[in-house]
Amino acid sequence: MEPQALKELSREVEQIARDTGRFLMKELGRVGDHQIEEKALNSLVSYVDRQAEEQLVEALGRLLPEAVFLTEEDTVQNRHGSQQWIIDPLDGTTNFLHQLPAFVVSLGLRLDEELCLGVVYDPSRRECFSAWRNGGAHLNHHPIAVSRPSGLDKSLLATGFPYFDYERLNAYMEVLRYFMQHSQGIRRFGSAALDLAYVACGRFDGFFEYSLQPWDVAAGAVLVREAGGLVTDFSGGGAFLFGEELIAASPGVHPVLLQQIREAFGNWSSKSNS
């Protein structure tokens, strides 16, 4: 699909994300405790997630009738195809249920196994981040770019704390300690898609997390890449979409993050196999 066609498609996807965002805001504060389920340890879901996903699947299905879906809440059968939407109707469910304004709608598109379009919509701030292959990244239709810090010591980083997978906690704490001591600070918002959007527009200089799922990162990875940033797995390779680990950062910061993370998590892997 050519850049112009992707741009036109992105505009339609943005509107769909905004429509879903309005639904989220309407339901904010209305979910009772009896309407919340725990899918796994600290992984919460409610009718809001499921209804939002159903809305997205229906609307996106009209845009690309041949496309298949990879979704978080399994409201549609997940399949593989040359056109695949990878969507999270509510990234930051725990924040949403606690009425913390750090949750987003995240919509990514893969064509022939290549991520080529991403939209992340923050309904609390009415900020719509969008990007498409070779088209740059945008915030409410204004161009954005990653930051250009002079070094790690001038950088503000983001991460996601482990909340169910604690096997690599020691390695995580090792890199966390290093970045605490050598950066301007670390933030944890609880929404990987929002963190990636903030890297894309320069609010964060870098982000890292493990135990991630494709719907957490698909859209945000497109944003960061098109904004001039680097996105890799913890080894520096490209297996971040299904590899459950990701580093996204400006070009000047990414090598430092990668070096520290690869060393710490590599040591963990060696020790765990000994």
Task: Give tens-digit pLDDT for 52-86.
Answer: 999 999 999 999 999 999 997 777 776 778 999 99
Rounded to an integer, what distance in angstroms lies between the CA atom of residue 39 and that of residue 116?
30
Report whether 53 contacts 73 (CB < 8 A): yes
Each residue's pLDDT tens digit, 77-112: 767 789 999 999 999 999 999 999 999 999 999 999
pLDDT digits (tens, 9 = 90+) for 213-265: 999 999 999 999 999 999 999 999 999 999 999 999 999 999 999 999 999 99
3-state helix, strand, coil in the chain (%, to 5): 40, 25, 35
CATH number of 3-144: 3.30.540.10
pLDDT band at 33 (very low <50, low <70, confident <90, very high): confident
Q: Which helix (H) or strand (E) holds 247?
A: strand 245-249
* Cα 20-23-29 angle, rounded to 5 deg: 135
* Domain 152-273 annotated CATH 2.40.50.140: no
Q: Where are the domains of the chain?
A: 3-144, 152-273
Contact residues for 103 (Cβ-Cβ < 8 A; gap 6+): 24, 90, 91, 92, 93, 95, 96, 122, 123, 124, 191, 194
